[in-house]
Amino acid sequence: MINNAQDFQKLGQSNVEAAVKTFTEWNKSWQAIAAEMTDYSKRSFEEGTAACEKLLNAKSMEQALEIQTTFARRAYEDYVQQYSKITDMYASVAKEAYRPMEQLFPGSR
């Protein structure tokens, strides 16, 4: 309960500090996610380009089919791994963003 202006000011300051901390954590997390997605996109593009070059140099239909199959399998596995990693990063963003509010309102869980 707020009994005087000083208590009210402390409550306001605590809320502002929690909000700033939350936004700071969000910013760091979103930057990490953006960097991860940029790296994945670059890697994916490079692998696709390399696969196209191999296909253009294929000597037979069987060799071309093998190159395409290998590329598709690796691209799918990389996508699934990347999706899992990004999902974990999003979950971490939510947890970290909630942590200051949890400390501010300990009974809210």
Tally of domains in the chain: 1
Among 14-18, 22-26, 48-52, 101-105, the range scoring the smallest mean pLDDT is 101-105
Task: Please report the pLDDT score of residue 103 as a whole number.
Answer: 67
Task: Please report the pLDDT score of residue 108 as a whole number.
Answer: 55
Task: Tell me, yes or no, whether 86 lies in a domain.
Answer: yes
Task: Tell me, yes or no, whether 57 lies in a domain.
Answer: yes
Domain hosting residue 36, numbered range: 32-102
Say what percent of the chain tops pLDDT 70.
Answer: 81
* Dihedral angle computed from the Cα positions of residues 82, 83, 84 and 89, in that order, rounded to the nearest 10 degrees: 90
Are the CB atoms for 100 and 18 separated by under 8 Å? Answer: yes
Task: Please report the pLDDT score of residue 22 as a whole number.
Answer: 76
Q: Is the pLDDT of residue 86 over 80?
A: yes
Task: Tell me, yes or no, whether 47 lies in a domain.
Answer: yes
The single-letter DSSP state of residue 27 is H
